[in-house]
Chains A and B, each alone.
Chain A
């Protein structure tokens, strides 16, 4: 089984976001970057499937600057066989450009399955994997929490509001991973050492700039400062009173 996993380098979820000098992006100084958490579920699923099949290949593909090599190495350290970096300085905000570049790379790769995280925790587009599927003209299921594959057919479950959809599809397909799909492994020291020697192809790409122009990036308005209504259970009546007559939510 040949599986591709699309991954992205993103700021850590604990990072404090500061606006950059141009007012149109973040100030990256002091920010720790990580492999997008949802992509870790995708990588883990690919490795599990390969292990269960007993043979095959798992390839990670990413898009971005040279710094993304570090992110790809993190996936290689988990056990992925090789990496491809589609190198570009400009990452337009419209996810279609990224999806087109990924689809072009994956189209003739002979992959049985393409896995992605359901969303990247930076731009929250929640789109790239699904777009890749549509561009390749193959089935896709987004935000899956459960997967079964057999004989070129698959069944996936995806959480919807107040329920779980059960979706059948045929391979090849694109699936995007939701938290809960699996427990990603931590790379062992041996894996980290081996990752340094695994192949990582760097291919320059130019992305379609798309039709989205950034006017500005701002911090959200601060919430108005609230108040402590009291201490302990004795403060409960004062809280209820405030919710009823002040906030009017009861």
Chain B
């Protein structure tokens, strides 16, 4: 009987939300193949591995070491590959995060096994069947993966974490390899502000060329601050013009995101932009051009002058959120 392995992700000694999402996806897959769900977690000694059974892990293999404060690819690869070789796994699941996008291909190349990235659905039907958005979400593949094990990265914000209590027994595993054998992650530079990342925030407020001047992005920042849980996003046009950093770009050559609420301000909605945000749960568009393509995908739109509309919206949201 084959099992499913998930690789969890921590930051500053705390498991990331995406780890619970991956556990949830893994639990469902383990149930449909009739196997167990095992989890690998690496991190510093301070990382708590309690309660992982809540999200469906039958067993947890924890490698906790002071040298694993940061993501060290060599240690992660060696630990995951060793676990796969010792167990009987149909699939290895990781979040399609900065870490998972780096580690997943390494594991697949080490094991010489099939690899599917950034999947939005997983099922078992004569093999593992996954859905993978391609062309930045303009089309979706359904793929059957033959050959085991396989490596799959799972799109964040897509599988809602669900409780499915199992034993979650923790087994400590010693580090088998010099964690910096190949590359050495020396530090993580934190951003100057505590701004949320556009790919992780539940609400994203994005601005485009309609703002006319880079200074006017304060309107976007104020609205994001009013929500309290929002990140600032940007269209390609304003990133290419140097108004905003690339890390904020939403779209085909930026980030593909699925927040609960996406507010597009002064963004006309080029195909490459729509590709990056069309899976948001709710889309609001504010644009002066009533024929702008953004209104075709928006759930709610206001036509008019953003310089009048946005401050008013900021005021209303502040009242509700108390920010």
Chain A contacts to B: CB under 8 angstroms: 11, 13-17, 19, 26, 37-38, 93-96, 99, 121-128, 130-131, 133-135, 138-143, 145, 155, 157-169, 178-180, 210-220, 223-233, 235-237, 239-240, 242-244, 247, 249-250
* Contact among B144, B270, B304, B316 with A212 in the assembled complex (CB-CB below 8 Å): B144
Task: Judge whether B110 and A134 touch: CB under 8 Å.
Answer: yes
Instruction: Flag whether B117 is at the interface (Cβ < 8 A).
Output: yes
Q: Which residues of A contact B246 (CB under 8 A)?
A: 145, 178-180
Task: Judge whether A237 and B70 touch: CB under 8 Å.
Answer: no
Q: List which B232-288 residues lie within 8 A (CB) of chain A.
A: 239, 245-247, 249, 252-254, 260-261, 270-272, 278-279, 281-284
A240 to B132, CA, bound (A): 34
Top 7 nearest A-B pairs by Cβ distance?
A: A211-B147, A211-B114, A127-B105, A134-B109, A160-B98, A232-B304, A226-B299
Closest to B245 in A: A180
Closest to A145 in B: B246
Task: Judge whether A167 and B186 touch: CB under 8 Å.
Answer: yes
Task: Judge whether A179 and B109 touch: CB under 8 Å.
Answer: no
Interface string of B130-164 (1 = CB under 8 A from A): 00111111111111111100100000000000000
Task: Judge whether A223 and B136 touch: CB under 8 Å.
Answer: no
A27 to B156, CA, bound (A): 30
Instruction: Flag whether B57 is at the interface (Cβ < 8 A).
Output: no
Chain B contacts to A: CB under 8 angstroms: 70-71, 73, 77, 96-99, 101-102, 104-106, 108-110, 112-118, 129, 132-147, 150, 182-191, 195-197, 199-200, 203, 239, 245-247, 249, 252-254, 260-261, 270-272, 278-279, 281-284, 290, 295-305, 308-309, 311-313, 316-317, 320-321
* Contact among B145, B186, B270 with A168 in the assembled complex (CB-CB below 8 Å): B186
Task: Judge whether B114 and A159 touch: CB under 8 Å.
Answer: no
Task: Judge whether A226 and B298 touch: CB under 8 Å.
Answer: yes
Given A124-B118, A134-B105, A134-B110, A229-B98 contact (CB < 8 Å): no
Task: Judge whether A214 and B141 touch: CB under 8 Å.
Answer: yes
- Say how far A90's CB is from chain B's closest CB, in angstroms: 16
- Say how far B276's CB is from chain A's closest CB, in angstroms: 10
Q: List 22 contacting pairs A-B, 8 Å CB cutoff, sorted by A.
A: A13-B272, A124-B136, A127-B101, A127-B108, A130-B102, A143-B98, A145-B246, A163-B191, A165-B188, A166-B189, A167-B183, A211-B146, A220-B138, A223-B283, A226-B297, A226-B300, A228-B295, A228-B300, A230-B302, A232-B303, A239-B284, A249-B282
Q: Which residues of B contact A160 (CB under 8 A)?
A: 71, 97-99, 188
Given A11-B135, A134-B109, A142-B102, A125-B115 contact (CB < 8 Å): yes
Task: Judge whether B183 and A135 touch: CB under 8 Å.
Answer: no
* Contact among B105, B239, B312 with A130 in the assembled complex (CB-CB below 8 Å): B105
Given A211-B147, A243-B284, A243-B300, A135-B253 contact (CB < 8 Å): no
- Say how far A96's CB is from chain B's closest CB, in angstroms: 6
Task: Judge whether A212 and B272 touch: CB under 8 Å.
Answer: no
Closest to A19 in B: B139
Interface centre among A16, A155, A157, A217 (most CB of B within 10 A): A217
Given A96-B108, A217-B139, A232-B309, A247-B300 contact (CB < 8 Å): yes
Task: Judge whether A231 and B304 touch: CB under 8 Å.
Answer: yes
A122 to B118, CA, bound (A): 13
Closest to A125 in B: B117
Interface centre among A93, A126, A127, A145 (most CB of B within 10 A): A127
Closest to B72 in A: A167
Interface centre among B71, B191, B283, B316 (most CB of A within 10 A): B316
- Say how far B54's CB is from chain A's closest CB, in angstroms: 23
Q: Which residues of A contact B184 (CB under 8 A)?
A: 167-169
A242 to B141, CA, bound (A): 34
Q: Which residues of A contact B102 (CB under 8 A)?
A: 130, 142-143, 158
Q: Which residues of B contact A155 (CB under 8 A)?
A: 186
* Contact among A122, A167, A227 with B135 in the assembled complex (CB-CB below 8 Å): A122
Q: Which residues of A contact B136 (CB under 8 A)?
A: 13, 121, 124
Q: Which residues of B contact A96 (CB under 8 A)?
A: 108-109, 112-115
* Contact among B133, B138, B200, B260 with A161 in the assembled complex (CB-CB below 8 Å): B200
Task: Judge whether A139 and B183 touch: CB under 8 Å.
Answer: yes
Q: Which residues of A contact B99 (CB under 8 A)?
A: 160
Task: Judge whether B117 and A126 touch: CB under 8 Å.
Answer: yes
Task: Judge whether B116 and A161 touch: CB under 8 Å.
Answer: no
Closest to A229 in B: B300
Task: Judge whether A215 and B302 touch: CB under 8 Å.
Answer: no
Q: Which residues of A contact B183 (CB under 8 A)?
A: 139-141, 167-169
Q: Which residues of B contact A124 (CB under 8 A)?
A: 117-118, 132-136
* Contact among B98, B117, B308 with A159 in the assembled complex (CB-CB below 8 Å): B98
Task: Judge whether B301 and A226 touch: CB under 8 Å.
Answer: yes
- Say how far A221's CB is from chain B's closest CB, in angstroms: 9
